[in-house]
Structure 1
Amino acid sequence: MELEKQNYVMEVVLFELKEGIDKRCFCQTAAALTEVLKLEVSGFEGRTLLHTSDESQWTDIIYWCDMESALVAMEKLKTTSEFQIFVSMIDSREITQRHLVPTNLNGLK
């Protein structure tokens, strides 16, 4: 992915898993969702899933070609079983989501 391109959108989601969720199972579910994103969702450019060293807090970073693609994707994903399974493992009380756009620092010199 070309991160130098200045018109992409980075979706950042911070969350915790529900108590008792198996981490390996969650990662397998995330991988299945990534395949859906690659094959079925227009504007998807990449994804990184991260966690703290104790695996208590997670961050999902998804790259979209533009804001419209990010917003349309959310509506489409709500109807897919992979997304429904993925979000069912997340503690809904502990979610923060942001859509971020890059700032061009090169022109500020």
Structure 2
Amino acid sequence: MNTKNMPVVELVLFRAKAGVSQQTLIEGTQSIQMWLAQQPGYIRRELLMTHEGQWADLVYWNSYEEAMVAGEKFMSLPEAGPLESVMDVTTIQMFHFHQMAAFEAVPVK
């Protein structure tokens, strides 16, 4: 299956630095949102957290190529400073998943 022009979900798993509150971390992630929303191929973004403090930043892209271009630009982005200051960079893991199927809810009768 050719995944070249298929939607991609970028998953970044990480933990906050010791002593960083949930609100401070959320504010740190918002520092890049304006820039991110202007990138070609950007669809939407979600920030999730487990009860154990594991965070997941999900970014939806139109294609893998657009996600990669944005990722390269991100590395030198001044707006990334507040985000990097609240993340434990030793815990960061990044994955890119191609959407292979999508399923909608079925109304219960």
Q: TM-score range by the shorter chain?
A: 0.7 to 0.9
Mapped to 2, the partners of 1:35 and 1:29 lie a distance apart of 12
Normalised by the length of structure 1, the TM-score is 0.79
Q: Which amino acid aligns with 1:22?
A: S
Whether 1:16 and 2:15 are equivalent positions in the alignment is yes
Match of 2:80 in 1: 83
The Cα of 1:105 is off from its aligned counterpart by 7.1
SS at 1:91's partner residue? strand
**Contact 1:8/1:65 (CA < 8 Å) preserved in 2?**
yes
Q: Distance in 2 between matches of 1:105 and 1:20?
A: 38
1:29–1:82 Cα contact (<8 Å) kept: no
Quote the offset at 1:37 in angstroms.
0.7
**Residues 104 and 81 of structure 1: is their aligned pair in 2 closer, same or farther, counting only changes over 3 Å?**
same
Aligned to 1:92, the other structure's residue is in SS state strand
**Quick check: 43-52 or 73-82, which moved more?**
73-82
Structure 2 unaligned residues grouped into runs of 5+: 104-109
Q: Measure the CA separation in 1 of the matches of 2:57 and 2:78.
A: 18
Identity %: 29
Alpha-carbon contact 1:12-1:62 (below 8 Å) kept: yes
Residue identity matched to 1:30 = T
Runs of 4 or more above 3 Å deviation: none
Change (3 A) 1:10 1:105: closer
CA distance in 2, matches of 1:44, 1:104: 19
* Pairwise CA distance, 1:29: 2.1
Distance 1:88 1:105 in 2: 36
- The structure with the largest helix share of the pair is 1
Counting strand residues as a fraction of each chain, which structure ranks higher?
2
- Residues 13 and 59, structure 1, Cα contact 8 Å, conserved in 2: yes
Amino acid at match of 2:54: Q
Q: Give me the whole-angstrom Cα distance separating, in 1, the residues matched to 2:102 and 2:57.
A: 25
